[in-house]
Amino acid sequence: MHIHKTWLRLFFGVTTVFLSGCDTSLSPNQSFEVAVKGVHSSSISEDGSMAVIGSIHHGGSLWTTADQERHFNWNHRPQETTTIQACDFSFNGKWAVTADPHTIVLWNTATGQGDRFWTAPGEILDIELGPGANFALLGLDDNSAVIFDIRNGGIKRRFEHGNRVRSVDISQDGKLALTGSEDFTARVWDIPSGKQLIQIKHEDDVQLVEISDDGSMALSVSKYDKALLWNTDTGEAIGEIPLNAERLKRGLHFTAARFSNDNQLLLTGRPDQIVELWETATLRKIASWKLPKRDAWKPTSAAVIAVAFSSTPNHFLATASNGFIHHLTVPSE
């Protein structure tokens, strides 16, 4: 996903004027339903053109976001509905992976065919595809994350934690792994050597981690602690993304995040229907959107479970747990 610097200068100028003195969240400019009863998991491709959906009652599927079309049904066994609790795209969008707690399938996004099927080395809590879809990083409930050879099978590296590994990510060149665990730590690992490079300590379970494409910047989020942006070379904090004390007490953390490819922007999602866009250099909030409930009169909310930039400037996407994908824009004037 490429964002031109000239557009960024215009974008920052326009949005600063638009949002100054106003804390009102924007609404999606378009929404479409991908699951009738809600979603377990979702991933949106790097360019925002495709989405994998793990629905509660209909299993896995691949959608294109521009035409809002469902192209393939992706279940792990014939005549069965799979509970897809983790999924991801390769960086080039040619491959996607889906995982239930104990099996993994690698899919060709052009043909919809399953290319590889594996039994997982433990219960999978999160999954991330490496470059070329040659390996995957698995966050497991056995207190470890592993580099799994998704082409040939088998574990190539194991990264040990002191508790379950809830969230994982990989740099675009496939050299750095980022893991977040219920042992209160986020850690950066050198994939070729298997060595731990950096450890960040939080005050509670780390439930979300995200690394920038170039591997230089990371976000780690703890449920009752903070959302910390930090440098992966030094471990030094760049800053904390603000959540007020009352929200932290209620465990209102971030549930999804994505860096822009040039590291200037960070898109985040929360469990209370809120998507926010931040400038990473200052952690200034540029824009905020409130996603709609399925039924406005019921108390149930809609957690944001995936966010993405698109190849179109000023356009973003978000998947909500109530079964909708939303197109988000910031007004040009």
How buried is 161 (Cβ within 10 angstroms: 0-12 exposed, 13-18 middle, 19+ buried)?
Answer: buried
Q: Is residue 25 part of a domain?
A: no
Q: Is residue 112 part of a domain?
A: yes
Q: Taking the chain, what is the end-to-end CA distance rounded to the nearest angstrom?
A: 24
Q: Would the pLDDT of 18 be above 50?
A: no
pLDDT at 7: 39
Q: Would the pLDDT of 9 be above 70?
A: no
Q: Is residue 18 part of a domain?
A: no
The boundaries of the domain holding residue 219 are 38-267+276-284
Q: Is residue 191 part of a domain?
A: yes
Closest CA to 302 of 59, 68, 33: 33
- Report the number of distinct structural domains present in the chain: 1
Q: Is residue 146 part of a domain?
A: yes
Q: Is residue 239 part of a domain?
A: yes
pLDDT at 164: 98
Instruction: Compute the C-alpha angle 151/119/178, nearest 5°.
Output: 65
Measure the CA–CA gap between 110 and 94, rounded to whole angstroms. Answer: 7
Q: Is residue 86 part of a domain?
A: yes
- Please count the other Cβ atoms lying within 10 Å of the Cβ belonging to residue 110: 10
Q: Is residue 222 part of a domain?
A: yes
Kindly report, residue by residue over 300-333, the tens digit of the pLDDT: 679 999 999 999 989 999 999 999 999 999 877 5
CATH number, position 88:
2.130.10.10
